[in-house]
Amino acid sequence: MVSYNFPSQIHLLMITILVIITTLLTPITTNTSSLPWNILSNDNFAGKLTTASSSVESAATDFGHITKIFPSAVLNPSSVQDITDLIKLSFDSQSSFPLAARGHGHSHRGQAAAKDGVVVNMRSMVNRDRGIKVSRTGLYADVDSAWLWIEVLNKTLELGLTPVSWTDYLYLTVGGTLSNGGISGQTFRYGPQISNVLEMDVITGKGEIATCSKDMNSDLFYAALGGLGQFGIITRARIKLELAPKKAKWLRFLYTDFSEFTRDQERLISETNGPHFLEGSVMLDHGPPDNWRSTYYPPSEHMRIVSMVKQHRVIYCLEVVKYYDETSQHSVNEEMEELSDSLNYERGFVYEKDVTYMDFLNRVRTGELKLKSKGKWDVPHPWLNLFVPKSQISRFEYGVFKGIILRNNITTGPLLVYPMNRNKWNDRMSTVIPEEDVFYAVGFLRSASFDNWDDYEKENMELFPPEYDSTKSRFSAL
């Protein structure tokens, strides 16, 4: 067996960012004895705190479908006060109990779980008559953290405005992504979502509500952003906005040379007038032909692309987008032509679409609905997301994409690899990133069956040093 030894800085970075202690699938049990004797009879939680098996079961599971971690109860708050009351009760109790805020349940390995504690169902606070207040003059939106980003987008677009930094999938809560980082193809230009927050309300571990910003309670502000919920529960965020474009010119370029692929990406993210969005991905000859990302390509091109993938076994896709409206359409067309001419992709393998701004941002929804229709959405997702320094990305490509991944031949789902600029992040925030000026996000966004998901876990472990104890840890995809 060929082994690939990666530099210690990659190992340490992956471990720092991605490892979280969880448990494996277990039978459903509800242990209310771990809660204070008076919590279930507390009038403050009447009709809101439940131990019903259906609620507990739902709170024990997440999008990952890899772990089941059962709470003793679930709180369905109707207001922020309900959450503060619960936290104060835990803080003041002689035997405190675990608490976890759960948004839309898109975590992968029980990160929003509270074993024998209480899971707070944040979505129960969503009120359609309030929750998002948009300031056109201040160019910001005050958003309750339980709202989904797709809901924020719909509301701001009504006023011709939009947030600037996104995740690829929009059906995530504002509080959830801000507690992690919130990255996508806009990050190189605008920074992650946590770099585009002006102010927040946070409930601390003592049950106190604090308004914080870079100028007020700044330690809490920066700690909560990317803090995985360990410094408090975000209940409101003030998000930066800008004028919303109407359309998106969306191009994809195929490469067979990884060095050309990364060189072009790195040049584009350094240009002040470059694309608004940039992501790269890996296409493998044993990847599924119905991968959701392949719906972009014209059916008439599928055989050509498949042929090139089989010839090279691994090829790479560079995806760039430029936003525009009626007044800028002509200039954007010229800019994208110049951009295309400057790239070193395989000539004849460039593809272009013009779509609405909304359709581009919400592009993953199409794939979600397709997978749901086939029963392939609610399956195990042994995802792994890494940050890799620019200086190590070529070695990573050789050892992982062309080594471990090809050898094991079990890939199902997108593999992303795209660069971002460190100067768009803030070192005071909790999220850990490499020290180099440019680093890559590498995402293994794979789907498995309930019978074989552990094969992917074993493959994930191959990226870690041999001395790492895999029996005590699982990976977290941020």
| Residues with catalytic function | 106, 168, 279
Neighbours of 208 (CB within 10 A): 13
The CA-based angle 369-370-372, given to 5 degrees, is 60
> To 10 degrees, the CA torsion angle through 390, 456, 170, 81?
-110
Task: Answer yes or no: are the C-beta atoms of 70 and 30 closer than 8 Å.
Answer: yes
Long-range (24+ apart) CB contacts under 8 A made by 370-376 are: 370/292, 370/295, 371/292, 371/447, 376/447
The SS3 of residue 101 is strand
Provide the residue type at 347 as one letter. R
CA distances from 228 to 4, 101, 465 (A): 31, 10, 25
- Terminal CA-CA length for the chain: 31
Token look-up 């002040």 returns: 272
> To 10 degrees, the CA torsion angle through 328, 330, 334, 337?
100
**What's phi and psi for 162, nearest 5 deg?**
-160, 145
**What's phi and psi for 92, nearest 5 deg?**
-85, -10
Residues in CB range of 8: below 8 A, 6 or more apart: 465
Tokens representing 240? 């930066």
Beta strands, E only, 304-383: 314-324, 350-356
Dihedral over Cα of 434, 440, 444, 445: its sign: positive
Task: Answer yes or no: are the C-beta atoms of 98 and 35 closer than 8 Å.
Answer: no
**What's phi and psi for 431, nearest 5 deg?**
-60, 135
Q: What is the C-alpha to C-alpha distance for residues 189 and 187, in angstroms, rounded to an integer?
A: 5
- Residue 139's Cβ-side half-sphere holds a number of Cα atoms within 13 Å equal to 9
Task: Answer yes or no: are the C-beta atoms of 473 and 19 closer than 8 Å.
Answer: yes
Task: Answer yes or no: are the C-beta atoms of 200 and 211 closer than 8 Å.
Answer: yes
Q: What is the DSSP string of 21-66?
A: -----------GGGS-TTSTT-GGGTTTEE--HHHHHHHH--TT-S
